[in-house]
Each structure stands twice: as structure tokens, then as C-alpha cells.
Amino acid sequence: MSIRTPVPRRSQGGLSLIGTLIIGCLLAFVLFIGFRCIPVFNEYFALQRVVNLLAEEGASATPAELRRSFDRYAYTDDIVSVRGADLQIVRSGSAAVVEADYERKVPVAGNVSLLFEFSVSSRR
């Protein structure tokens, strides 16, 4: 009769159910925040494009005309954080420099929100 010697157990590797749930919740939270921030950055890029278009138009237009033109662009591009009256328009020689500083607040949950501060300029 042979005597068996105990074989040492190897610890199992991998995620447990609790670990999987925690990682899943963290991933869901990051995705939730990301999806809430996408419209903010879409608006920023649209605003940057419109400001550059206005700067190109600015050589022959008055500041009031540029503001009206911005309001038309803002309506079609769904820009709600900045109005034409919020633009700073400065003549630099024959060109116009158009700038805007604004904040956008994104509610997350309850009284928790994210605040984004943007500065858009037609200067290169």
C-alpha cells in the first residue's frame, strides 16, 4: 500500500463575482460621464468652426453684422451656451478677431455636476 502525499493547492487566478461587479460599476460610471460630456465637446468644436468662419467674414462686415451672422450659425449648429452678444469682436488691421469665453455646467447626479470652462478664439 502506498501513502499518498498531499499535493499543494494552487490558488486560483482571475476575477471573482464581486470583483467583476465592481469593475462593471466603475466602467458604467465612466461611460455615463463620457456620454454626458460628448454634447459639450461637440458644441465647443462647432463654436470653434463658427468663430473661424466669422473671422473670415469679418474683413468686410461690421460687429453687429457678425453678431447676427453668429446667431444664425448658432441656431443651425445647436450652440446654446453662447449668443452673438457674448462675442468679443476686435478689429486687427483689416481682419477681425472673434473671441468668446464661456462655461458649461453638466449635471451628473443630484447636486453633483461638472463645470467646463472654454475659451474660443479665431487667432491662430
Residue 118 has what pLDDT? 95
Rg of the chain in Å (alpha carbons): 27
C-beta separation of 122 from 52 below 8 A: yes
Domain boundaries, the chain: 39-121
What's the whole-number mean pLDDT along residues 16-24? 91
* CA distances to 12, 17, 21, 41 from 118, in Å: 50, 42, 36, 10
Backbone angles phi, psi at 5, to 5 degrees: -95, 140
pTM of the model: 0.79
Residue 1 has what pLDDT? 63
pLDDT digits (tens, 9 = 90+) for 58-108: 778 888 899 999 999 999 999 999 999 999 988 877 788 899 999 999 999
SS3 107: strand
- pLDDT greater than 80 at residue 25: yes
Top-confidence residue, 7 or 102: 102
Cα separation, 55 vs 74, whole angstroms: 15
- pLDDT greater than 70 at residue 124: no
Round the average pLDDT of the chain to a whole number and report it: 89
pLDDT digits (tens, 9 = 90+) for 29-42: 999 999 999 999 99
Backbone angles phi, psi at 81, to 5 degrees: -85, -20
Backbone angles phi, psi at 109, to 5 degrees: -160, 130
